[in-house]
Structure 1
Amino acid sequence: MVNTKTRLNLKLSMIISTTVIAFAVSYICLSNRVYIIYQNLFYIPILLSCFWYGKKGFIYSGAIAATYFLFSLKYSPETLWDELVRLFIFIAIALLTYKLTDRIKVQQSKITNLNKMLKNDIEKFKKVEMLSHLGSYEVDLKTGKTIWSDGMFRIFGYEPGSFEPTKEKRIEFTYPDDKELVRKSIDKAINEKCSFTIENRIVRSDGSIRWILSTGYVESNEYDEAEKFIGSLLDITERKLLEKSLEEEKEKLRITITSIGDGVISTDINGRITILNKVAEKLTGWKQEEALGKPIEEVFNIINENTRVKCENPIQRVVERGTIIGLANHTALISKDGTERSIADSAAPIKDSDGNVQGVILVFRDITEEKRKQDEIYYMSYYDSLTGLYNRRFFEEEIKRIDTEKNLPISIIMGDVNGLKLTNDAFGHSVGDRLLRKAAEAIKSACRADDIVARWGGDEFIILLSKTKKEEAEAMVKRIKNICSEMKIDSIDVSISFGYDTKENVDEDIFKILKSAEDYMYNHKVVESNSMRGNIINTILNTLHEKNPREEKHSKRVSELCQRIGAAMRLPETEINKLKVSGLLHDIGKIAIEDKVLNKPGCLTDQEWNEIKRHPDIGYRILSSSSEMMEIAQYVLFHHERFDGSGYPRGLKQEEIPLLSRIIAVADSYDAMTNARTYKKTLDKDTAIGELIRNKGTQFDPNVVDVFIEKVLNNP
């Protein structure tokens, strides 16, 4: 402020001084009648005041001119017009100076402001250069003079102005492997007057290596001659490190996606595929190079397994909601070759840092085998594997569901297959299974679509009928029986005993209704099963004789010999009748023995012999199924016991063995010795008698042998 005031005072002093001097000189000259061009002295204060003080100076100049005009009239009135012209000249010069000065000051102010702005911009640019790691340089192609910005020095790790920059310095600081690239790029830009952008490495003053983005272009003069080369360097080391890190992460992601056991598909926000891993290739049938850029619907073709309707696009749903979603159940993927697979999947949005969805990643897996196993588990949980009907577990859950007032009346029918155990014992479980399947078929065919038919137990079935009266249940039973009457398993009739009852009031206990139906069924079974068992026994005997006629003849001969022995031993007629039946049925258990074992011509193996030894037990089980045949079953069971206790199946001896079984043993052995067998030669009568005598007391009852030889064979 002191300096400014001093300058103002000095200017003012100079104006006043020159004014006083001008008037003093004018007074001396006019007083002495000396007419020299003293008036020009007034131009000095006029010009100075207008130049320095503008409008105030112009007013001051006008005052000087007016004063001088009056001053000159006093001493030289005759020069009025000359002085008047001079007055106007003074005022005109003052006005012109004032206006020019004012315009100069305005322009000077603008230039000052522009210089300030330029200086600020330069400072800002230097700061931007420093913050952004940017440097620039300029090369005069005619003189070779090179100018570097401060940022240029800093990029190479030097203080600004620490050395004289040159074009070669730019290349000298370049990483050795990249020097040729930089040199060729600059030379090409200069020679072809074009620009370039390259990435290369530099070596800083501390030996560290940095990545930079190099750009350059050429400025030409009006003659299209290359005049200046201007270049810039931008430190992109951080970006390169990020790129490297990103590439490593992308590679890790690629390896992860490739090695993951699930299919992975990534799409952009428009649903076009960007990634398809190997598992996804296998499941969709598309190669990644084929699928890239294609709409997801074209590659990921999914339908509902049950309705066969195309499923909604999961990618679109994720984009719209911005959340993770899972596929609906029963979704199937149709591959490019038409293969259908059950899949499970989920789709998740790919979001940027602002939470905006940029794409979607879909992860899915083949659950065909898993679903098959689940279906099997479900089927095993609620279905009977043999008949395909519902099982007891399902029925017990369904009865609770159906037991509501709106389903009244509710009827329950229970059925029991007659003769299943006898069939299993005689013909094997495979035939018994066929019998059960046939029975299930008969029941199912007579029921309505929404009736619940289940296998209740081994040979029991149950039917749950909602909104069904007792009369309707009875009619259904009759339909089933009519269907069964036309069915056979080989020569075995299909027979089922039924019972049923109906819940008509909501207060009744459904399980008491079930128990009532079960009791009713057992009452029917007592009546029906006996005749059925008799029929099956006859069927078994006929089947045995049909597949092995030799056994039929053998059984008849043994039956006749047994009757004759009984008569010779003076047994009651009832016992003789039992011997007759027992002799006919003694080998009925052989129905369960394989033909290849029964008819084997050579010696039996231990396993085959053990198989043969099962026939008394099997015969017993077959015959004991009928209460009328229980006593006969005992005689059949023990007809291979030996008198000394070494026989089978129980190892009984002497009197422990029923008499009728001892009689059957003698008759059976004699007939076997004297008639054709595949595994033995036929013996004559005397030789056979000798064998009987030799085995008295060990295999045979001595008394029975003596009666047989003396009173039956020798006394025909």
Structure 2
Amino acid sequence: MKNVFKMLAENSILPMWIKDLDYKFIFVNKSYADLQHRIPEEIIGLKNEDLYDKDLSNKFNEYCDEVVEKKAVNIKEVYTEAGYRQCVIIPLLDNNGELVALAGIISVTSDISRIKEKEYEIELQKVLTNKIIDILPGVIFYKDLNSKYVYANKACRDFYSQRGIPDIIGKSELDICQNKEQGKKFMEDDKHIIENKTPIHNEIVYKDKDGEFTYREVIKIPLLDKYGNVKGVVGRSLDITERKKYQDKLEYLSYTDILTGAKNRTYFEEVEKRYSEEGKLPLGVIMGDANGLKLVNDTFGHRQGDKLLIDITEVLKNVSKNVGEVFRIGGDEFVILVPEASLKQCEELILEIEEKCNQYKNDLFNISISLGAAVKYDAKKDIYEVIKEAEDKVYRNKLLQKSSIKGSILTSLKIGLGVNSGETEQHNERVVIRAIKVGEKLGLSMSELDELKIASGLHDIGKIGISDDILSKSTSLTDEEYEIIKTHTEKGYRIIKASSELKSVAKSVLYHHERWDGNGYPMGLKGEEIPLLARIISVCDTFDVMISGRVYKSAMSKKSALEELKRCAGTQFDPKVVDIFIDLYK
């Protein structure tokens, strides 16, 4: 039987050995010898120290000491150059129970080795991953399904440590956020990510102890297992304060007119588009053209010209700061966009701007800007069509300013009218004053009043092209001469229409001799077919002619002239305009 056991031990695939009480090998089988790359005879008589390095031999000796001490089987797992091994050490006792030797059986089960090696590899990967994450830029963290921190890299720990929270593991945002509303929002984001399995990208603003603001870009994604189940939330937070400042500076330079500080044309187009898309209509557009820029540049130098533009911008910003935004879209051109505004509101702003310009203090020159307003009602309408409407009004406004070049042209036309036609400047001024009063009573807008002022001042400009012999004739005109006189409306129309910005003014001049009953000239228009401004001019002009007289006709009393207007209301004149004129005159 002893030989049988010996034969089994020698041929077992499990490495086996027997040692005496001095831990010398007295038996090893072939499998054990193969592990040592030797033959059994070479190992007999050796100790652990002769086969293994110091650390490993000491471990084997300790395991043997435990068996000797307890006289019990000892099972240990050890890592050798060949991988993980399980070693079973058995005490060999005689019939009296005395220990006589130690036997060892070594398991080389590949599963154990692979498992242990995998565990070691996993642990190494975990350490490596943590080290890598620690040196990556930004705060990186992992939260469980209850939004509590499970992992935080060094940057994350430092971030909260600087804010008085030394340990965040196991805590939620409500535990660590000073701003509880912000903490609640973070946890709502986590819940959304977990429930919808979708990432979230946010910019967060933190206020530091010194009052400075820190901007952080936060990206959070769901952590899914291989079955698609959410196990938590992984996030990264980067400090983008410097990048934000750089972007803001770049945006400022891209969208701002550096000279005046107003926004530029590029930003104007973006803002207008945004207002239209957001439905902030009607959109008020106030167009402005600085007066006298060339004169200031030529007289005082470009530095003072720049100062003029800066001063005008300051006025525009101060007046519109709560209702609109100011843009410089050209050399001396400005636009104010006023969302959800009516034409009347825009004109009230214009009046306030003009008043502030008059009050503005400048040692060298007065600041002045010609303004006009239009309104965009349809989101699809091109904004530059609306600007053109406002520009036409700006042009008319410049015509009414005696100090401007365009105003000088208008003055020259009026002087020419007085010299060539016999019409006096006083007559034109009286017609203008009365027409404006009627227009105000009718509730005309500022731009309409500007048109009325120009049209009433130039209503007979066409008489420049008619012979003085006819104009100054003291006797009744022949039919042929009357027909010539009647052409003055068309001549005036052509003179004024030469300026594209004065088309509506030209029409008022063309039609100011039309009659309410349709029997006037040149087109025979009837009733409200006649432009309102032309109807106003007709009443005011006729009244002044009646009370002033002409070379061919004596002056009437004012009472008689008013009675004549009343009598002709509904035939020659618009009855409503006549009623307002009489009420105002009385």
Ranked by relative contact order (alpha carbons within 8 Å, sequence separation 6 or more), the top structure is 2
Larger radius of gyration: 1
More helix per residue: 1 or 2?
A: 1
